[in-house]
């Protein structure tokens, strides 16, 4: 029992990295996705082409490759640029998930019936008032399930930072496994990931209940 407690404590130390990366990614990628969606649905052809290229490149290449590119490639392309491992990982995750959230929000905005735009225009509402009061509340309700799925995936994807030698949950559990030749640390890590995802699911379930009024 004492061994399990010590192992769990050490693995949980890596949890701080996982949690920081998770919240930092969501905090930055959600607004990035929203702005990207607004750009893709705007009448500006240049913005549309720019965002289409961004989302196509990011969604069409592996996240692991993107991590390597940002950490090892960017300093070669930009002389003098120095990124620490966590910053490189966070930047990669933000850009990666920003692309996915862009497509999610774009789909949500375009799913709103065109008649609602026309009705708000008849009522004398500006484009901004229409978006804030009518379109966005309904969009949020519709995009919550896919955003929740991406958030669950994000929890699991944070384990990829092990390739940069960052001491997250997976790396710390691997160290114990290599040292003691036992599989129990992996089981502990799996339970921790499951617990984190349970909290994510619970949070988004409450949000869906809150926005159910817009059905």
Domains (range + CATH), the chain:
2-214 (1.10.3720.10)
Question: 143 CB contacts (<8 Å, ≥6 apart)?
Answer: 104, 105, 107, 108
* Structural element, H or E, at residue 2: helix 2-40
For 109-148, give one letter per residue: b (16+ CB within 10 A) or e: beebeeeebeebeeeebeeeebbeebbbebbbbbbbebbb
Reported as a pLDDT band with limits 50, 70 and 90, residue 61 is very high
Percent of the chain residues topping a pLDDT of 70: 98
pTM of the prediction? 0.91
Alpha helices in 60-183 (DSSP H): 63-68, 74-77, 85-110, 114-122, 127-130, 136-157, 169-180
Considering only residues 133 and 87, tell me which one the structure prediction assigns the higher pLDDT: 87
Query: How confident is the model at residue 214, as a pLDDT?
Result: 52
Provide the pLDDT confidence category of residue 213 given band limits of 50, 70 and 90: low
- Tell which residue, 151, 148, 61, 138, has the closest CA to residue 107: 138
């Amino acid at each position: 029992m004492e061994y399990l407690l010590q192992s769990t404590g050490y693995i949980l130390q890596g949890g701080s990295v996982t949690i920081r990366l998770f919240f930092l990614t969501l905090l930055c990628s959600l607004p990035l996705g929203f702005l990207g969606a607004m750009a893709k649905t705007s009448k500006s052809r240049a913005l549309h082409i720019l965002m289409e290229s961004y989302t196509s490149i990011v969604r069409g290449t592996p996240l692991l490759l993107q991590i390597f590119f940002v950490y090892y490639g960017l300093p070669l392309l930009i002389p003098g640029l120095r990124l620490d491992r966590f910053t490189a990982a966070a930047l990669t995750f933000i850009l990666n998930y920003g692309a996915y959230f862009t497509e999610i929000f774009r789909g949500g905005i375009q799913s709103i019936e065109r008649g609602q735009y026309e009705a708000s225009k008849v009522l004398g509402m500006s484009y901004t008032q229409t978006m804030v009061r009518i379109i966005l509340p309904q969009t949020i309700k519709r995009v919550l399930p896919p955003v929740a799925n991406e958030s669950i995936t994000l929890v699991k994807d944070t384990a990829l930072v092990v390739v940069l030698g960052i001491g997250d949950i997976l790396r710390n559990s691997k160290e114990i496994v290599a040292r003691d030749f036992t599989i129990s640390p992996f089981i502990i890590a799996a339970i921790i990931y499951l617990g984190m995802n349970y909290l994510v699911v619970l949070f988004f379930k409450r949000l869906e209940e809150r926005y159910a009024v817009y059905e």
